[in-house]
Chain A
Amino acid sequence: DIQMTQSPSSLSASVGDRVTITCRASQSVSAYLNWYQQKPGKAPRLLLYAASSLQSGVPSRFSGSGSGTDFTLTISSLRPEDFATYYCQETYSIPWTFGQGTKVEIK
């Protein structure tokens, strides 16, 4: 099974900050990498698919990059509604493993 490791596990940031979250796969997943946002008590929301493609309706301050084993999610200017937990997930091979999550908290 492919292991997905996110870093950091949590971070504190202020509104307006640029935030970067890293996701590393234990083996290459090509670009079969998706990012989700989850707020407390809510279902996850798809933000980006195929590592860098923005899902419809997602603000352009979210961006993604990477391929192979190393990926990043960047929020260019953090807004109050972006405080949440972010997960990467590979859909390269079954089981479709999620990263452990990165919680973005208010500084």
Chain B
Amino acid sequence: EVQLVESGGGLVQPGGSLRLSCAVSGFTFKNYEMNWVRQAPGKGLEWVSYISSGGSATYYADSVKGRFTISRDSAKNSVYLQMNSLRAEDTAVYYCARVSDFGVVLAADYWGQGTLVTVSS
């Protein structure tokens, strides 16, 4: 059974840092690209970041570029999101998602349950 479990969320002050983790199981992690997607309270989904299967390619939304860093550790079957210089507008539930190649398109086919990040003084 494919599982993705996020952790590391919590309350942090503006300007602070937090590191989210996503532990995966039930599939061969090294073969899959991964995403982070967030959802502010009562709002829609926002794509945040992508990492290739080998970790050599990473991409970010403009809203987090230069502040967030995505990484992965195949030995630990985990993907991470290091978040620095946090702002109130970063408050959201953060989801990690597995990206599958369906031949024609990439899509996030499995998602974790999400971890809440609250940026507030």
Q: Which residues of B, 99-118, contact A by the 8 Å Cβ criterion?
A: 102, 104-109, 111-114
Q: In chain A between 1 and 56, which residues have their CB closer than 8 angstroms to a CB of chain B? A: 1, 31-34, 36, 38, 43-46, 49-50, 53, 55
Q: In chain A between 49 and 107, which residues have their CB closer than 8 angstroms to a CB of chain B? A: 49-50, 53, 55, 85, 87, 89, 91, 94-101
Interface flags for B80-121 (1: CB within 8 Å of A; 0: not) read: 000000000000000101000010111111011110000000
Measured CB to CB, the closest approach of chain B to A52, in angstroms, equals: 10
Closest chain B CB from A41 CB (angstroms): 9
A43-B113, A98-B44, A101-B44 are known contacts; what are 5 more A-B pairs with Cβ within 8 Å? A49-B102, A91-B105, A95-B61, A96-B50, A97-B47
List residues of A whose CB falls within 8 A of some B CB.
Answer: 1, 31-34, 36, 38, 43-46, 49-50, 53, 55, 85, 87, 89, 91, 94-101
